[in-house]
Structure 1
């Protein structure tokens, strides 16, 4: 039994969207779900970099931009 023209269009469109999804999975989705591999690579490549030395303007290496103010009661 032959598929109607609309059914072939739906199959083609579904296949195309599925292909794009399968192509993007290892590039965009997988790194977001499991970042441990990238953290390991980053730790290895930045091993010999002294962040204190290259930080501009005597700024601290990292500070919490949403730092909470300590109240006087504490």
Structure 2
């Protein structure tokens, strides 16, 4: 029973974490497209507090 419980908890953790972390890494073009649709019409300067860094591309390399 303990064996099953541990593996079930690991599976649940992975299932919860997959759409947040792994999906954007595995499908970057789809994620970029979704973000461009979600951010359409948003002017960063209108909602960005003064003195804070403006949004940057999470896929951009430094």
TM-score, normalization by structure 1: 0.45
How far does the alpha carbon of each residue in 1:17-71 deviate from its partner, in whole angstroms, 9 at most, with x for none?
000011111111011000112322248847897xxxxxxxxxxxxxxx7xxxxxx
Unpaired stretches in structure 1, ≥5 consecutive residues: 1-7, 50-64, 66-74
Higher relative contact order (CA 8 A, sep 6+): 2
Give the total of aligned pairs.
44
Unpaired stretches in structure 2, ≥5 consecutive residues: 44-61
Distance 1:47 1:26 in 2: 25
Corresponding residue of 1:13: 6
Rate the CA distance shift 1:43–1:10 in 2: closer, same or farther, 3 A: same
Corresponding residue of 1:27: 20
Rate the CA distance shift 1:44–1:20 in 2: closer, same or farther, 3 A: closer
CA RMSD of aligned residues (A): 2.8
Distance 2:39 2:11 in 1: 35
